[in-house]
Amino acid sequence: MLKPPAAAVTLALFLLPMGHAKAQEIQERTIRWGHLNNTDHPVSIGVKKFAEIVAQKSGGKLRIREFPSNQLGSEMQQQSALRGGTQEMQSPATTSLVGIVKEFGLIDFPFIVSTPAQADALLDGPLGQALLNKLPEKDLIGLTYWDLGFRNVTNSRRPIAKGEDLDGIKIRVIPNPVYLETFRTFGANPVPMSFSDLYSALENRAVDGQENPYSVILSNKFYEVQKYASQTNHTYSANIILVSKKFWDKLSPTEQTILREAAIEARDFQRKVSREQAAAAVSELKAKGMQVNEITEAELERMRIKTAHVKEKFSAEYDPALVKLFNAELERVHAGK
C-alpha cells in the first residue's frame, strides 16, 4: 500500500480539529517577513518559530520567507512597503512607528519599567492593545509585541557610571524625539541615524557611541569598535509584529486567526530566548574585550528623576485618553497587579 506524501499527512492532521470547510479557506501563500537583525538574534529565532507554527496550523499552505539584516531596506522603508502592500510582514522596534502613530512614544519614555515582567504586563494589557488599535487606519495590522530588551549605552571614550558621564558624548540614537530629548538631558550629543549605517559610523568615529540591548550589541559585533558598555537600562524596547493591511484584508478569517495565534505562541518562546541571550551576552561581551559596568540603584534613580520631564513634555502632545490609560497602567504594573 502506498504511503501518502508527508505534506498530505500534515494537512490531514490539520483538517481533523479544524474541519474541511475551514481548511478550504487557506490558500497557498508565501509571506515575506523583513527585519534588521542578523540570523543569530532572538527576533530571527522568533521568526523561525513563527514559521514552524504557521506551517503546522495551515497544513504547509502558508509559508514564511525571512529577509533578515535589512535585506528589504531600513525599518522605515519596510514600513512604507507594508503600507503600500508590496511586503507582507515586518518586526521593527516599536519606536520606529512614532512617525506614523506618535503615541508609540509612550513606550519609549525613560525608566518607566525596570523588569521584564513589568514590560510584559504593560504591553500585553490594555495600553498595548490600544496602541495596536491605532494602526489599521495607517494601513498596518499589529499582532503582538516581542522582546528586544532593555537598552544600554556603549561608547569608545569612558564608562558611564552616572548621568553626568554622558556629557559631551556623541551618541547615535533611533530617529525619535523622545530619545533625542532623553540624551540631551544629560548633556550628550544625540545623533539620529539609521541602524544600517551604525557600525561604520562607530568604526570611523563619526559617533562615540550608541545604545541598544546587549543581544544587539553582541550580534552586530559592536565590541569590535566600542570599548565600554554600561548597564543603563534606560529604556525597554519591544519589537512589534506588523502585517500589511492590504495583504491582511485579502486573507480569510481562518488565515488571519492562524497568524494571530502563531504570533502569540511564538512571542512566549521568543521572549524566553531573548532574555536568556541577553544574560549570556554580558559574559560574551566581556570575553570579547569590552569593559562592562553596572550602575548603582541610587544613580539610576537620579537619572530617572532627571528625565522625568521627558514624560511630562511629550505626554502633553499625545492623545489625552491614551495618556490617562498609560498612567493608570503604569500604576497597575508597578503594583504588580
pLDDT tens for 226-250 read 999 999 999 999 999 999 999 999 9
How many structural domains compose the chain? 1
pLDDT at res. 21? 52
Is 234 among the domain residues?
A: yes
Is 5 among the domain residues?
A: no
Report which of 336, 331, 153 is spatially closest to residue 233, judged by C-alpha positions: 153
Kindly tell me if the per-residue pLDDT of 19 is higher than 70: no
Report which of 81, 271, 93, 118 is spatially closest to residue 179, judged by C-alpha positions: 93
CA distance 324 to 204: 44
Q: pTM of the entire structure? A: 0.89
Kindly tell me if the per-residue pLDDT of 46 is higher than 70: yes
| Digit-coded pLDDT (tens) for 263-315 | 999 999 999 999 999 999 999 999 999 999 999 999 999 999 999 999 999 99
- CATH number for the domain spanning 161: value is 3.40.190.170
CA 114 to chain centre: 17
Is 59 among the domain residues?
A: yes
Is 21 among the domain residues?
A: no
pLDDT at res. 304? 96
Band (pLDDT 50/70/90 cuts) for residue 176 is confident
pLDDT at res. 117? 96
Is 7 among the domain residues?
A: no
Instruction: Give the residue numbers spanning the domain of 120.
Output: 28-334
Answer for the pair 108, 178: CB distance below 8 angstroms, yes or no: yes
